Amino acid sequence: MAITRVPTTPFSDQRPGTSGLRKKVKIFQQPRYVENFIQAIFDNVEGAKGSTLVIGGDGRFFNEEVVQTALKMATANGFGRVLVGQKGLLSTPAVSCVIRKHKAIGGLVLSASHNPGGPDGDFGIKFNMSHGGPAPESFTEAVFKRASAMTEYKIVENPDVDLTRIGGTKIGDTIVEVIDPVADYVELMEKLIDFNAISQLFRSGFRMRFDALNAITGPYARAILESRLGAPAGTVVNGEPKPDFGGHHPDPNPVHAHDLMELMMGRDAPDFGAASDGDGDRNMIVARRLFVTPSDSLAILTSHAHLAPGYAKGLSGVARSMPTSRAADRVAKKLGINFFETPTGWKFFANLLDAGLITICGEESAGTGSNHIREKDGLWAVLLWLNILAVTKKPADQIVREHWATYGRDYYTRHDYEELETAPANELMDNLRARLATLPGQRFGELTVQECDDFAYTDPVDGSVTPKQGIRILFKEDARAVFRLSGTGTSGATLRVYLERFEPNAERHNLPTAEVLAPVIEAANAIAEIEPRTGRDEPSVIT
């Protein structure tokens, strides 16, 4: 089959962020835009010829078109075998699972994760390496360098592959296999989670609501929760992936998953509530009349993971992203295991997992995972929670309150100031950095700054250094504020402010979060001068 070399010119905006290249759909729809970026990726995959590649996405608008383009380009670039999810679908954790099981050289993940979908929404492309995790910065920088000098891309002229039919098709020297997107993932979950115990839990009358937000996790949740574990039909709602996520914002938090929150806070709430995001790598956990913060969830899973078969021998360690609360650290210290604080971005966990230094890891942005793959995994976290509930025979809210009684409570919230003008946002951060040396000892309202820094991470495995990962302000009153600009949006800049305060006194564990954190919020706003520098007197989203 003839390979066509198509002349092209580079685009200047194809530098990948923390989770690949994310832009508005209309940007990706520009002629040659997708082809240029995919060619830049393929040009940096060593040993591509004859190897196995995985391709799949979350089903958002433009997914199938990009899948077909990627298949034709993979053939032209000499991959020997391409595994693609039926209908072009694969959750991000499933991509990692398939890469690892089938010893693929890597995979293209087509998703903008928790960002909105549809013709006016977002799209994204990232590359996962042979260990199943996101590409490191050395790879993504090489991709950007190649994309910036692109003069041609390679593609074959061939009819589109029938993605509805499972099975193999030969295109030139490449075998394209359309696979069941769920099967390998279910097989892996059965090795880690006690399905029998959870099935018995559902037979006892346990009620659950899982909101898939019309995103990728729907088919996985239905296959496992309803078909394999015996949860009643209807346990999974919004279970059909749709190109615009059915109008939902596919970010599983109390703001966007408001229907689930309203149900779980009501008089006839089910025993347990959960949701996942656009590509299936994030999770939201809601006990009856109690939202479980992702930071608390990570800590609770760390302390109880041994109850599941896959973790019965104990954990080697736990890692959290720097903005995530320190709740997991307290568990690790009590268990006597490793704990690490990393920059935001799942790729920073991969070295720790590969080296066996940690077993579980997580981020405050609702991502939790373990050494079973090299991505965060929303449904896995939900299943591990169900395993814990089935074995302990305790309601979820009791599990949370007992955890606080044992370790103390880290009150926590995040304020997002979205779509800020980029220049003022950068100036705010630059001003903070310039004042770090002068802040210790200063009092802001009820709090006094004890120490502060611009977080830099030295990887304990390979020694690489990653600077400027967020500004940390630690107060003498055991409170903390963290400021960073997010790299996951597609327009303007998003300032994220993370606020926490530790409360050891059990008598103060049931106070409103906003009340406990009010002094921290006041101090953080004053220190960063948020309103005068951004013109915003309140955040866009509070989670």
| CA distance linking residue 41 with residue 474, whole number of Å | 41
Q: Where are the alpha helices (DSSP H) in 137-225?
A: 137-147, 183-192, 195-203, 217-221
The candidate with the shortest Cα–Cα distance to 231, out of 203, 252, 195, is 203
Question: What SS3 state is found at 257?
Answer: coil
Contact 144, 11 (CB under 8 A): no
Q: Which of 51, 113, 303, 365 is an active site residue? A: 113
The candidate with the shortest Cα–Cα distance to 9, out of 29, 27, 35, is 35
Active site annotation includes 540: no
* DSSP string of 334-382, one letter each residue: HHT-EEEEE-SSTHHHHHHHHTTS-SEEEETTTEEEETTSSS--HHHHH
What is the number of residues in the chain? 543
User: Phi and psi for 297 in degrees, rounded to 5?
Assistant: -60, -45
Separation of CA 332 from chain center: 22
User: Phi and psi for 17 in degrees, rounded to 5?
Assistant: -95, -155
CA angle 411, 414, 419 (to 5 degrees): 175
Which residues, in sequence order, are CB contacts of 523 under 8 Å at separation 6+? 444, 445, 446, 447, 473, 475, 479, 481
Structure tokens at 274: 């959960």
- Residues known to be catalytic: 113
